[in-house]
Structure 1
Amino acid sequence: MNRIVRFVFRAPVRLYDRGFGWLLGGRFLCLTHLGRKSGRMYRTVLEVVGRDSEEFVVVAGLGAGADWYRNIQAHPPVEVVVGRSRFPAEHRVLGEDEAVTVIAGYEHRHRLAGPVVRFALGKLLGWRYDGSDLARRRMARQLPLVGLRPRS
């Protein structure tokens, strides 16, 4: 069973490995980062929850303890691949107000999937997420949102 679960969760990274990451379009990105202790290169596929002309925003869905999040706090991200674009990256952690705006925009763009999104967020957060402004603020304090952009 563990092998199956591992295969399923690693499948998106394998798409990027084989040059097919573009199939996931701009909805996902592949973040390459250095291990904070090992110095080893890791790749993590993350959903893009917000985007503007310069920056892609992702959520640390397992909170500030997520390995990729802790790694980029210790060392700058190495590279981001989105669709057919690849760039050396830098990051920033969004403030609460900006994170709430990004989350609200994501929910608006995916309103048909709202019940599923709220259910999944409730499981990640450990409390009933109802999509209210108060819940978004609580979520933004619990799950950091990170902006990734080309290094200047």
Structure 2
Amino acid sequence: MARRIPRWLARAPIPLYRHGLGRLLGRRLLMLEHRGRRTGLPRYVVLEVADREPGCLFIASGHGQDSQWFRNLRADPRVRVWTGPHQGVPARAAVLTGEETRQRLEIYRRRHRRAAAALGRTLDIPELRDTGPLPADVATRLPLVRLDLDEG
């Protein structure tokens, strides 16, 4: 069973990003603005960047497909991103396939061994702590999202 971070702690970095101080949190975190699927109002969440490529970022839904932000992205993939040099950059979200998720999580495990082990403990996904193959259902338990940044 995944442990929940207290809501006040999870939301604590949001004012930093809103006041232009998100850079203090480094490049491993981002603030994501998404739209509520029922209200259409802007919503904010701070997440870890699992991987990055030129023009895109990858984030994980630690609480699976039930996370509100994840469900909102599925309803409306248009978002804005704050991280490092990117401040309110429009982006488009896309949920990765099972195979793409496994490949990205393998990269994450290699690059961030300690963080992957901690994530595996927190989310009760022991395979993230090991070096063996990831299970076929890992994309269901830990879906990944690609954010394509519109830096134009």
TM-score bracket for this pair, using the shorter chain length: 0.7 to 0.9
Q: Which has the higher helix share?
A: 1
User: Residue type of the partner of 2:73?
Assistant: I
Q: Secondary structure at the match of 1:79?
A: strand
Instruction: Tell me the secondary structure at the aligned position of residue 134 of structure 1.
Output: coil
Residue 107 of structure 1 aligns with which residue?
109
Change over 3 Å in CA distance of 1:145–1:115 after alignment to 2: closer
Q: TM-score, normalised by structure 2?
A: 0.83
Query: Which residue in the other structure is 1:33 paired with?
Result: 34
Q: How does 1:1-152 map to 2 (within 5 A)?
A: 5-86=6-87, 87-122=89-124, 128-129=126-127, 130-131=129-130, 132-135=132-135, 137-151=136-150
Q: 1:119 to 1:20 in 2, by over 3 A?
A: same
Could you tell me which runs of 5 or more consecutive residues in structure 2 were left unpaired when the two chains were aligned.
Answer: 1-5
Letter of the aligned partner of 2:84 in structure 1?
A: G
Note the aligned Cα RMSD (angstroms): 1.9
Identity in percent: 36
SS at match of 2:38: coil
Separation of aligned partners in 2, 1:96 and 1:149? 19
Cα distance per residue 1:97-120 (max 9 Å; x no partner):
221111111111122445423212
| 2:3 alignment partner in structure 1 | none
Q: Deviations over 1:80-108 (max 9, x none)?
A: 11112131110111111221111111111
Which 4+ runs in 1 deviate beyond 2 A?
A: 112-118, 128-132
For normalisation by structure 1, the TM-score amounts to 0.83
Judged with a 3 Å threshold, the aligned counterparts in structure 2 of structure 1 residues 141 and 46 are, in CA distance, closer, same or farther, namely: same
